[in-house]
């Protein structure tokens, strides 16, 4: 007997993984060749969004040693049509909670090949140009101000 597929919750995390020098880890999605930071939906048993961020970091990169920072920033956006079938009927928007995760140095992530096929580290300006998501781009743009305390016109 097949069990019905559970729908994804329309709440997610975006976690920008970076070094102190603001090199950014990007992951290439298995479907479509799009580049992004760590992302993922909240699971019903996640006690909070920090737990979601830590779970997604571990699942998508194997990383657990570093400093996770909750930016207390949310983005609400329309779910792309090709991904709407993962959500309950009538769900059209997602609320994304933004985090950063600082690691001491560039490291090789352990990827789940069902989700991501490649990884690379780029300086923040280059990473900002490579990601497909506007909210991911904005988070990378904000990283310098949040980490170093000032902004650089990019």
Structural tokens at position 121: 């580290």
pLDDT one-digit tens code per residue, 6-42: 899 999 999 999 999 999 999 999 987 899 999 999 9
> Global pTM?
0.91
**pLDDT for position 153:** 55
- What mean pLDDT comes out for the span 130-136? 96
Whether the CB-CB separation of 37 and 121 falls below 8 Å is answered with: no
**pLDDT for position 31:** 83
23-29 and 93-102 as β-strands: parallel, antiparallel, unpaired? unpaired
Structural tokens at position 96: 């994304």
Residue with the bigger pLDDT between 13 and 153: it is 13
pLDDT at 136 over 90: yes
Q: Which fold has domain 11-148?
A: Nucleoside Triphosphate Pyrophosphohydrolase (3.90.79)
| Cα first-last separation, the chain | 55
Domain range summary for the chain, segments of one domain joined by + = 11-148
pLDDT one-digit tens code per residue, 48-101: 999 999 999 999 999 999 999 999 999 999 998 988 999 999 999 999 999 999
**pLDDT for position 2:** 52
User: What is the rounded distance in angstroms from the CA atom of residue 60 to the CA atom of residue 18?
Assistant: 15
pLDDT one-digit tens code per residue, 108-130: 999 988 899 999 999 999 999 99
């Amino acid at each position: 007997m097949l069990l019905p597929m559970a729908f994804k919750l329309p709440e997610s995390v975006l976690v920008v993984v970076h070094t102190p020098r603001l090199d950014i880890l990007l992951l290439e999605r298995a479907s479509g060749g799009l580049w992004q930071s760590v992302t993922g939906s909240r699971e019903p048993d996640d006690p909070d969004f920090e737990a979601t961020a830590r779970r997604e970091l571990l699942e998508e990169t194997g990383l657990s040693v570093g400093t996770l920072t909750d930016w207390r920033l949310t983005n609400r956006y329309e779910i792309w049509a090709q991904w709407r079938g993962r959500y309950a009927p009538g769900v059209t928007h997602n609320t994304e909670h933004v985090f950063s995760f600082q690691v001491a140095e560039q490291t090789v992530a352990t990827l789940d090949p069902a989700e991501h096929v490649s990884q690379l580290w780029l300086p923040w300006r280059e990473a900002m140009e490579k990601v497909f998501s506007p909210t991911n781009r904005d988070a990378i743009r904000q990283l310098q101000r949040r980490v170093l305390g000032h902004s650089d016109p990019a």
